[in-house]
Amino acid sequence: MGIVVSDDKLAGRMSVAEFRAFQDRRPDHERWELISGVPMMMTPATIAHNRIASNLEWLLNNALGRFDRSRLATQRPGIELGSLAFRPEPDVGVIDADYAAGQRFVERCYLLAEIVSATDELPVPGSGGRWIDVKREIYLAHPPCEAVLIVEQDRIEVAVDIRSNDGWTSARLSGPEAELRLPAFGLSCALAALYDGTPLMPRSA
C-alpha cells in the first residue's frame, strides 16, 4: 500500500521499553497500543468484533489441532515487532504452542489478524495512512509471519495476504460463500463461518 512506517524524529515520545513498563502497571482488562511513540487506550470492542475474533480463533485451533499441533491460535497475543515506535496488539495470532506459564509476549507470530474497529480508522501522524494500514505494513514486515488477515465487521469482507517463496500475494474476499483458504494452517472455510452469530449472519431461533 506504500504506507511509510517511520521511527524517526520521535524525541520525547515513549520508547518500547517504557511502553511495556507502562503496560505492566495497567489492569489486565485495559488494552493499549503504541502509535508513533504515543500510548493509546483502545475503546472496548463491539460484541460483533468479539464474536468474529472468537470464531476465527476457534476455526484456526480446530484446523491446527489436525494439521499442526506445534502451533495454536490465541486472541490478543503480545508480540514484539521490529518497529521502534509502534506496538499494535493483533486481535488474533497464531503462535508456538510451547510457551511458559505467566508469559505475556512472544517474538514470533505466524498469522496476524485484525478485526477493523473505529480506532483503526485514526490517521497516524507522519505515515499518511490509517492505523489499520500501518498495522498491516508492520505485520507484513514481521519475518516469521506467513499470513495477515484484515477482517471487516460491518460487512462480510476479508483482505488476505499470504507469503510464499515468491513474496506476498494479496486477495480480497467478500460474501458469505467466499472461501478463506490458509494452507499453511490447514484451514479452509466459507466466510459465513467467520461471521456466524453476528448481525451479518444471525443464528436462527
> Is residue 41 assigned to a domain?
yes
> 3-class DSSP state for residue 119?
helix
Position 30 confidence tier, pLDDT thresholds 50, 70, 90 = confident
Instruction: Report the alpha-carbon distance of residue 40 to residue 200 in Å, rounded.
Output: 29
Written as one string, the DSSP assignment of 26-90 is S-TT--EEEETTEEEEPPPPPHHHHHHHHHHHHHHHHHHHHH-TTEEEEES-EE--S-SS-B---
What's the structural domain count of the chain?
1
> Is residue 8 assigned to a domain?
no
Query: Would you tell me how many other CB atoms lie within 10 Å of the CB of residue 142?
Result: 19
> 3-class DSSP state for residue 155?
coil
Position 32 confidence tier, pLDDT thresholds 50, 70, 90 = confident
Q: Which residues contact 57 (CB under 8 A, 6 or more apart)?
A: 73, 74, 75, 92
Instruction: Report the alpha-carbon distance of residue 86 to residue 92 in Å, rounded.
Output: 18
> What is the CATH classification number for the domain harbouring 106?
3.90.1570.10
Instruction: Report the alpha-carbon distance of residue 191 to residue 196 in Å, rounded.
Output: 9
Question: pLDDT by residue (tens digit) across 137-191?
Answer: 999 999 999 999 999 999 999 999 999 999 999 999 999 999 999 999 999 999 9
Residue 48 clears pLDDT 80, i.e. is over it: yes
**Count of positions (residues) in the chain:** 205
> Is residue 5 assigned to a domain?
no
> Is residue 51 assigned to a domain?
yes
pLDDT at 12: 54
Instruction: Report the alpha-carbon distance of residue 147 to residue 169 in Å, rounded.
Output: 10
> Is residue 42 assigned to a domain?
yes
> Is residue 139 assigned to a domain?
yes
Predicted TM-score of the model (pTM): 0.81
> Is residue 162 assigned to a domain?
yes
Question: Can you tell me the mean pLDDT for 85-105?
Answer: 90
Q: 123-124 and 129-130 as β-strands: parallel, antiparallel, unpaired?
A: antiparallel
Position 4 confidence tier, pLDDT thresholds 50, 70, 90 = very low
Mean pLDDT of the chain: 87
Question: Can you tell me the mean pLDDT for 189-205?
Answer: 92
pLDDT at 104: 84
Q: Which domain holds residue 144?
A: 16-194
Position 6 confidence tier, pLDDT thresholds 50, 70, 90 = very low
Residue 18 clears pLDDT 90, i.e. is over it: no
pLDDT at 10: 45
> Is residue 111 assigned to a domain?
yes
Q: How large a percentage of the chain has pLDDT more than 90?
A: 60
Measure the N-to-C terminal CA separation of the chain; round to a whole number of Å.
43
